[in-house]
Amino acid sequence: MKLALAEHGLRLTKSLGQNFLHDQNQIRRIVSAAETGPADKILEIGPGLGPLTELLAAKAGEVLAIEKDKRLFDYLSQKFSTLSHLKLLHADALEYLKHHRRWRDWKLAANLPYSVASPLLVELAWAEEPPERLTATLQLEVARRIDAATGSEYYGVLGLLLRLRYESRGWFKIPAACFFPVPEVDSACIVLARRAEPLLATALHGTFTRIVKRGFSQRRKMMFKLLKEDWPEDALRRGFDVAALAPRTRAEEVSLEQFARLTEALCL
Ligand code: SAM
């Protein structure tokens, strides 16, 4: 990797989260977790120097890899010039996803740029047609937040927003030493599978977000008191009854299903 960088005069940019994964075992583990086969279309965000891209392209029917760094994009275009089923795109993935919202028969497999990993996942999960599976390497702490159970210290907005549409299939740790340059924190690869049945009608997703964000705006406070800033008290009382929530409950004690039922009741 160092050689490739030196040969092509490529200098790393910290703000683009350029910590490259060089451990082949971990790369194989990610591809296997992504359940990549010849019938699959794979979206990769941030291909970097392309080690994951190479393995994905060897297994999948089609790969679309979006890279923001023009120097890396040029490097990859040269490196993979013979692969017709791999399409490389020079773009900011976050911007691109705002305008491309149909990913129904796609799977994400990526080692994400950490500074934008959470918004990228939310953008995909809340797309008009979200991908079938999300396999993403990100900071270990973020994986814990996505996978957190109700009541845990990691439970909160990010996990709830993603798991409204996805079920967590768990995560595995990737030690910092597997990357170059070595980051300050460990990473993890999280796997999310799209729910067969939606937990909530799409039209209610905006209200769900408002409730969850308001509820967690002050973790230690009773959710009823916080929600009173946005909803009338009698509607909240009815909603809490429907969702079987005690008035003194804090947001961290409320399950995803209870948030969904409360949303429906407040939208009646
Ligand atoms: N996939 C490579 C690997 O595993 O070694 C590189 C992963 S590195 C953590 C993140 C990559 O995302 C970098 O190549 C960086 O240039 C790229 N990147 C950063 N922000 C991006 C964005 N908004 N859109 C697309 N690519 C981005």
Tens digits of residue pLDDT in 93-112: 999 999 999 999 999 999 99
Contact (Cβ atoms closer than 8 angstroms) between residue 193 and residue 167: yes
Establish whether residue 92 lines the binding site of ligand 1, counting it when its CB lies within 6 angstroms of any ligand atom: yes
What is the Å distance from ligand 1's center to 194 Cα?
Answer: 24
Establish whether residue 21 lines the binding site of ligand 1, counting it when its CB lies within 6 angstroms of any ligand atom: yes
> What is d(CA 78, CA 71) in angstroms, rounded to the nearest whole number?
11
Tens of pLDDT, residues 182-202: 999 999 999 999 999 989 999
> What is d(CA 121, CA 173) in angstroms, rounded to the nearest whole number?
19
Domains of the chain, with CATH numbers? 2-194 (3.40.50.150), 202-266 (1.10.8.100)
Establish whether residue 19 lines the binding site of ligand 1, counting it when its CB lies within 6 angstroms of any ligand atom: yes
Ligand 1 atom closest to Cα of 110? 1
Establish whether residue 55 lines the binding site of ligand 1, counting it when its CB lies within 6 angstroms of any ligand atom: no
Checking DSSP bridges between strand 187-194 and strand 106-111, what pairing results, if any?
unpaired
140-147 and 117-125 helices cross at what angle (nearest 10)? 30
- 């702490």: which residue's tokens? 141
Strand partners, 193: 133, 167
Contact (Cβ atoms closer than 8 angstroms) between residue 94 and residue 119: yes
Tens of pLDDT, residues 37-86: 999 999 999 999 999 999 999 999 999 999 999 999 999 999 999 999 99
3-state SS class at 101:
coil
Neighbouring C-alpha atoms within 13 Å toward the C-beta of 123: 17
Establish whether residue 113 lines the binding site of ligand 1, counting it when its CB lies within 6 angstroms of any ligand atom: yes
Listed residue (71, 68, 112, 106) closest to 90, CA to CA? 68
Contact (Cβ atoms closer than 8 angstroms) between residue 87 and residue 67: no
